[in-house]
């Protein structure tokens, strides 16, 4: 069973969505730990209530980003993660940290990347007159919000939208999209080819499609046999009637 470590800085609503999906859908993985850079992050209480290990690495206790990231990586590594998930982790990570977990670390960003990387995405989308906004799950790379895209979800930008109203609609999609993307990574269904993510179809989906195809063929065969049988009965009946006619 694979191990997932989730990094948060606050409430961690996406973390909650991932934890629930992992438990309810029976992933071949477990959320081993939730780690925060803030001791008062409310998401830590949720994780503890679920029996998930928690840890805090306070960035204010370090003189540099490099020193903080080195300690953060050490703490995360104690849980032997196969997948690292950033869920509202409000720190820009150093290249050393990103390289250490490269290919197994995901982030969700509240825009349809490559549009609007960085902060204030909803305000910028409204000001730009965008008709669609959304969320993007991507692999984390040293360049902020520019990693290979795993999945996206779009929502309409409505007339009179405020940044908060738009953010609320996008967040609903994040809660659906992010657990799905994490599950794909856990199940080894994602590969990278020339910087592009390729998703392998779910075997279970393939089996279901095959079953439907077989059922369709059997139905056609049964239908054909039925028609042949009816034709034979009609022919025999016609012959019998003809034989009895004077």
Using the structure block, give the residue that is written with the tokens 């948060």: 8
Q: Is 109 an annotated catalytic residue?
A: yes
Q: What is the separation of C-alpha 67 from the centre of its chain, rounded to a whole number of angstroms?
A: 31
Relative orientation angle of helices 163-186 and 13-25, to the nearest 10 degrees: 40
Name 141's Cβ contacts closer than 8 Å, sequence gap at least 6.
98, 102, 147, 148
Are 12 and 34 contacting, i.e. CB atoms less than 8 angstroms apart? Answer: yes
- Quote the tokens at residue 30: 């477990």
* Strand 196-199 with 190-193, pairing: antiparallel
CA distance 80 to 32: 9
CA distance 125 to 120: 9
* Residue in 20, 59, 100, 109 annotated catalytic: 109
Sign, CA dihedral 237-239-243-245, equals: positive
Residue 125's φ and ψ, nearest 5 degrees, are -65, -40
Are 186 and 28 contacting, i.e. CB atoms less than 8 angstroms apart? Answer: yes
Query: Residue 150 in 3-state DSSP?
Result: strand
Can you give the C-alpha Rg of the chain in angstroms? 27
Question: Which residues carry out catalysis?
Answer: 109
């Amino acid at each position: 069973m694979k191990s997932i470590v989730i990094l948060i800085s606050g409430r961690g609503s996406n973390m909650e969505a991932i934890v629930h999906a992992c438990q309810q859908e029976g992933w071949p993985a477990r959320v081993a730990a939730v780690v925060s850079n803030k001791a008062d992050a409310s998401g830590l209480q949720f994780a503890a209530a679920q029996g998930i290990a928690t840890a805090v690495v306070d960035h204010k206790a370090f003189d540099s980003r490099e020193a903080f990231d080195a300690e953060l990586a050490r703490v995360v590594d104690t849980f032997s993660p196969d997948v690292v998930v950033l869920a509202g982790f409000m720190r820009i990570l150093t290249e050393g940290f990103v390289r250490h977990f490269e290919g197994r670390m995901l982030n969700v960003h509240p825009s349809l990347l490559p549009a609007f990387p960085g902060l204030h995405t909803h305000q910028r989308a409204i000001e730009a007159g965008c008709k669609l906004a959304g969320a993007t799950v991507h692999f984390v790379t040293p360049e902020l919000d520019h990693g290979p895209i795993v999945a996206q979800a779009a929502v309409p930008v409505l007339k009179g939208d405020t940044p908060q109203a738009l953010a609320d609609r996008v967040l609903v999609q994040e809660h659906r999209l992010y657990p799905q993307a994490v599950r794909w990574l856990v199940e080894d269904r994602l590969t990278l080819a020339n910087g592009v993510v390729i998703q392998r179809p779910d075997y279970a989906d393939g089996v279901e499609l095959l079953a439907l195809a077989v059922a369709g063929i059997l139905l056609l065969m049964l239908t054909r046999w039925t028609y042949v049988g009816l034709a034979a009965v009609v022919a025999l009946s016609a012959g019998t009637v003809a034989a009895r006619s004077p």
